[in-house]
Amino acid sequence: MAKLNIVKEGDPVLRGKCRPVLEITPRIITLLDDMIETLHDANGAGLAAPQVGVRRRIALVEVEDGQLYELINPEIIDRKGNQQEIEGCLSLPGKWGVTDRPMEVTVRATNRHGEEYTVTGTGLAARAFCHEIDHLDGILYTDHAIEMLDPEDLEIE
């Protein structure tokens, strides 16, 4: 495994629409493994392939230690409720904003073994699923933040 560089705001790869994964090859497995190492090293809640310079529909979400979701060709199939919470992004270090997201989402995706599955997340997990899937369509949380926050006013660890 290898730690990858996280692309920062301004890089055009973050604004492109990602291509679907048509076949799970050894290169896709290596990308997943490298993304996991990169996510853990950055201490993030999620990471999408374009954030490491790859325009493929692949994302990771891990909001609880040991509960990692590998999302290949993910699609949100159900949304419920509403939450307005603070979000940040590994590709936009030092920026924070309040977004309006569903309280609960159900996602359909494929895992590294080619098996389709669904997962439902609430609260932080729902935000993370939405945030990472947005990346696959070239959307950043700042595009629909209802308020950007001054980092000096925050007490974020």
What structural domains and CATH numbers belong to the chain? 12-153 (3.90.45.10)
Among the listed residues 132, 152, 155, 157, the single catalytic one is 132
Contact 148, 9 (CB under 8 A): no
Q: What's the pLDDT score for residue 66? A: 84
CA 96 – CA 89 distance, rounded (Å): 8
Contact 130, 76 (CB under 8 A): yes
Annotation marks residue 132 as catalytic: yes
Distances (CA, A) of 27 to 34, 40, 62, 103, 123: 10, 20, 22, 34, 33
DSSP letter for 140, please. Answer: -
Contact 129, 70 (CB under 8 A): no
Digit-by-digit pLDDT tens for the chain (157 residues) are 789 999 999 999 999 999 999 999 999 999 999 999 999 999 999 999 999 999 999 999 999 888 999 999 999 999 999 999 999 999 999 999 999 999 999 999 999 999 999 999 999 999 999 999 999 999 999 998 999 998 776 665 5
Rg of the chain on CA atoms, in Å: 15
